[in-house]
Amino acid sequence: MIIKFKTQKEIETMKEGGKILAEILKKLSDMVRPGITTNDLEKLAQELVLSFGVKPSFLGYDGYPAVLCTSINDEIVHGVPSDRILKDGDILKLDMGVLYEGFHTDSAVTILLGGGDDQKKKLINVTKEALRIGISKARVGNTLGDIGYAIQKYVEDNGFNVVRDLVGHGIGRELHEPPQVLNYGEKGTGPELVEGMVIAIEPMVVTGGWKIKNSKDGFGFVTKDGGLAAHFEHTVAITEERPLVLT
């Protein structure tokens, strides 16, 4: 496993790309409402990529046919946009990456449409907080196991589970680089975090068991037991002072 370290200048470039990605995801999130289709979101994503002058990271990756991933309810990640109409109570995950000046960034958010189901709200809040906690452990001298342990403990203490078979990753000139960034693990295990590492931290949290299966289209992953899933992701640089969120 060869980890590719980034220079300060490269991290600055990734930060510029990440800022664009954050803006695109914000505009997509603002469009989400009952009655639209996930294809409507894909169309906007395509337009935004063009207008910002970036390239989509996911389109064509392992044959993936879209710019955006739109995963609903029990779909965890890599849901392909379609004519499916979003409705009140749906949990929608938007996951997207962009290529800017030779470097990828990757980010995801989860949105609850419409009314208040307490368990759904809790699932989303816990997943978002798990990401914040994971990022807080992304410091020089800590290990990847410290990140995974902190995420897993918080999630399980709140009565949910983290998916084991899907993980975060290093990122840079390639969308997926070493190392794998697990959302579970033991303190003090795995590679040590060193200045210049850039990783995508992405807790995927489910209401039921953590086992998954392929969705019918072969691209997405769904919970095996039909439990609901939430997903948040940021691209994070390890710097001497603190974790630097690039997205």
Query: What is the edge-to-edge ordering of all strands in the sheet holding 168-170?
Result: 177-181, 168-170, 198-201, 234-238, 243-245
Residue found by looking up tokens 């410091």 in the block: 139
pLDDT, one tens digit per residue, over 53-108 is 999 999 999 999 999 999 999 999 999 999 999 999 999 999 999 999 999 999 99
Q: What is the mean pLDDT of residues 15-43?
A: 98
Q: Tell me the average pLDDT of the chain.
A: 97
Instruction: Give percent of the chain above pLDDT 90.
Output: 97
Question: How far is 19 from 219, CA to CA, in rounded Å?
Answer: 27
Check pLDDT > 90 for residue 216.
no
- Write down the pLDDT at residue 240: 95
Check pLDDT > 90 for residue 223.
yes
Check pLDDT > 80 for residue 49.
yes
In 3D, which of 140, 83, 105 has the Cα closest to residue 18?
A: 105
Q: What is the mean pLDDT of residues 153-173?
A: 98
Question: How far is 232 from 154, CA to CA, in rounded Å?
Answer: 15
- Write down the pLDDT at residue 175: 98
- Write down the pLDDT at residue 45: 98
The class level of CATH for 8-245 reads alpha beta
Check pLDDT > 90 for residue 115.
no
- Write down the pLDDT at residue 1: 81
Q: What is the mean pLDDT of residues 9-34?
A: 98
Task: Output helix, strand, coil percentages for the chain, rounded to the nearest 5.
Answer: 30, 30, 40
Check pLDDT > 90 for residue 16.
yes
